[in-house]
Structure 1
């Protein structure tokens, strides 16, 4: 457990922080930071310790929710405190142990894992319960420790300290959301990898199971962002409806600033959700292109086989006719009949190949298709003024032009 006491400076009118309570001054608010090791297997003792420190008694059902590793994002407001459970996506920078010998394990699906972080907020107290190794919260704790090494007058440099528990909770949430905004780059690289694997043509794609897991991971991130947005919206509604319960009666900070921070936090989560949706669409587009390429290759192979069949069909007919078991067949006993028939078969083959070539049915690639489209465009060219070429209309138009010129000349003379 770590405790930090935030005080209002009596002369400088700014906030400073201490690790222990001061005797002759009341703290603006207290931040108590706990890890799950402080609660597991000793929840009742932890509740009594918290009550001795803050006179705050946690509801039994809320205590179960805090201890539940698989609890979704949630927000609940009571008369004594507000409970916010925010699920954080575990990033590579975190040092949270996912595989623990205990029975409780993190919700881990398709290579992605999330962890819950609980916030208990009152106007004077903020209690956080998190995992050991949470990079964002530990970085903020390290920043507070750095501030403690400075004189009290410099505690607000280079950044101001929070003035309420809600302010501190929003700052911690902001660091967590910004922390996994950096996942957009590796996720984009993963999508590029699958695009290359799907669109390569030198070997067959067989990693469908891994691709399905990747797609489910993107869907998991979308669901997580949706839960986070709903929780932040509930927190925003609580600020709008009952802001005095969160800030206390003696605080003077404006409600609009807190709402602006919540909206900014929600917009960051929406950016992650939209980016993940675009990545899923990119993967789906690559899959569609993959199957389109396979279908195109299959059509090309069938076209080649059809051409070969069309070429050899007349040859098969000729050999079938002269293979019939009749006693009298023209040219059967001729010494040159075999060579004549072979020449006819060769000429038939050449004529068919030439015919298919002229019809752009022989050859691969875009050239034959482009030529065919260009030819169709030329053949199907429509002149919208074709009727003007009709001879009587030409004469009428030319006569009308002459009449107009004569009228103009008469007008000029007058």
Structure 2
């Protein structure tokens, strides 16, 4: 468990849970899900003393649930936001393994119901969004999500993270290092002005992880398109293609839950009591801007997912269209060859009849005349079919 006192100018670590409210700034209490479960009484006591109310049991269940979807709920004293992030901070490239994926946290296989949970189910964080042992789908095997919970008070932000959360480490180091520029400019904008500001910054960072993931997924979809659009190569790895589509559908559901949660938060923010001082009004407008920015980023991720789904569907349709055209070309060629040999077979069949008196059979040059007739018929039919483009070779542009 970590406690950080954040003021407008600096952030300072605090040993142990705070016992009294901060005179300036606010406290950020971050803990792992296991730490919240073991130290829940002490945390509830701190929240009651500094925030005015402890967490209700349903919200505690939501924060401890590793398989809950993104959702938002509130009381008259505090707000609760659960947001699913990528379990892997940096996905390795398609053709290498230079970066190792972040450790996954085990979760129960079923979705535990909690207050404010969305209707759509979310896969447990210990399972990948796509399970494929094929070589062509190395990226989607490592796409996993885990929930991060926030309990927002007036002067306290309680964040519950999975073990080894890179979001926690990133923001903790960033706040500890402090603003880099102190040349007379205002540095207060570099530090979060209130708990809601810090929460939105962390949520925005988690959404940016999905935006970074789209580049890797786009390369994966491009790989499938190149494999599907090779007409001379037989494609049989349809199970992995189905895994790709299922993974994109599940990512779409996750983004829809995120969008609904942030939308609920934005609507609740509009219902907050109005501020009367210019400084507080500016901070409130900053929260609205950050909330709209997070919502816009989620919509961008959803747009990219829909576009990748359309690209995958288009590649499959083009694959079947190319295979159908190839089959049509083969059948047309075979039909043309059959049409050429039909009159030749007719001539050979006539002269092969077991009759004693057949014209040209007993003549010396009968075979030559029959063979010449076959050659002439063949040349005429080939020229005819060539002019009709039945035997035209496929041009490569």
- TM-score under structure 1 normalisation? 0.77
Q: Which of 350, 357, 368 is the matching residue for 1:321? A: 350
Aligned to 2:97: none
Gaps spanning 5+ residues in structure 2: where? 92-100, 111-123, 131-140
Residue of structure 1 in register with 2:13 after alignment: 19
Which residue of 201, 218, 223 maps to 1:171? 201
Residues 19, 195 of structure 1: alpha-carbon distance in 2 compared, 3 angstrom cutoff: same
User: Partners of 2:184 and 2:195 in 1: how far apart?
Assistant: 21
More displaced stretch, 99-108 vs 29-38: 99-108
| Corresponding residue of 2:90 | 93
Partner Cα separation in structure 2 for residue 288 and residue 212 of structure 1: 14
Distance across 2 between alignment mates of 1:289 and 1:24? 64
Give the corresponding residue for 2:361. Answer: 332
Q: Quick one: structure 1 residues 153 and 55, their matched pair in 2 at CA, closer, same or farther if it must change by over 3 Å?
A: farther
Q: How many residues are matched?
A: 358
Q: 1:328 to 1:103 in 2, by over 3 A?
A: closer
Secondary structure at 2:144 match in 1: strand
Please say if 1:5 is aligned against 2:2: no
Higher CA-based Rg: 1
Paired residues of 2:151 and 2:158 also in contact (CA < 8 A): yes
Q: 1:230 to 1:19 in 2, by over 3 A?
A: same
Structure 1 69/338 Cα, relative in aligned 2: closer, same or farther at 3 Å? same
Which of 145, 162, 182 matches 2:192? 162
Instruction: Choose from 317, 320, 324 the match for 1:291.
Output: 320
Q: Which one is further off, 172-181 or 343-352?
A: 172-181
Rounded Cα–Cα distance in structure 2 between residues aligned with 1:299 and 1:91: 46
Name the residue aligned to 1:391. Answer: none
Contact 2:231 2:323 in 1 (8 A): no
Secondary structure at the residue paired with 2:362?
A: coil
The 1:243/1:30 distance shift into structure 2, 3 A limit, reads farther
2:151 aligned to which of 104, 111, 120: 120
Q: From the superposition, tell whether residues 25 and 208 of structure 1 become closer, same or farther in structure 2 (CA, over 3 Å).
A: closer
Instruction: Pick 1 or 2: higher relative contact order, CA cutoff 8 A, min separation 6.
Output: 2
> Which structure carries more helix by proportion?
1
Whether the 8 Å CA contact 1:15–1:156 is kept in 2: the answer is no
- CA RMSD between the two structures: 3.3
Distance in 2 (alpha carbons) for counterparts of 1:362 and 1:355: 10
Q: Secondary structure at the match of 1:128?
A: strand
Residue 80 (structure 1) aligned to one of 77, 89, 105 = 77
